Amino acid sequence: MPAAASLELIHNFSLIHDDIEDASCERHHRPTVWKLWGQPQAINAGDSMFALAYLALLKLRGNGIAGTKVMRAIRVLGEACLELCEGQYLDIAYEGRGDVTTEGYLRMITK
């Protein structure tokens, strides 16, 4: 369960930050975190979820998972987060541009 919670926390962290970066006022027909409490608090909430995701993975050790496997999970999550950030960078960079190629778009959405 800690691994699933970790992934859900990362997913929600990314949505909070994405809503700020895209200036999205609604997600699923509800006000976004930044719209309700402002950008600084939304950033804090997202960053807290990011930290909690790693703490959740550390709980795997208490569930009988070998330390080497826990460290591997932490490394994989970190690498995935970097890919996520690269995709978000491209999303921001491509916004409003009409010259984004299909290859560029596919590169962005696979991050």
DSSP for 40-99, written as a single string: HHHHHHHHHHHHHHHHHHHTTGGGT--HHHHHHHHHHHHHHHHHHHHHHHHHHHHTT-S-
User: Looking at the 3D structure of the chain, how many domains does it have?
Assistant: 1
pLDDT band at 108 (very low <50, low <70, confident <90, very high): confident
Query: Beta-carbon neighbour count of residue 18 at 10 Å?
Result: 17
pLDDT of amino acid 105: 86
pLDDT of amino acid 28: 95
| Residue 16: domain span | 2-109
Residue appearing with tokens 């596919």: 106
Report the CATH number that the domain containing residue 43 is assigned in CATH: 1.10.600.10
pLDDT of amino acid 111: 80
Once rounded to an integer, what is the mean pLDDT over residues 86-105?
91
Once rounded to an integer, what is the mean pLDDT over residues 22-44?
97
Helix axes 2-22, 67-94, angle to 10 degrees: 20
- 39 by DSSP, 3-state: which? helix
pLDDT tens for residues 43-93? Answer: 999 999 999 999 999 999 988 999 999 999 999 999 999 999 999 999 999
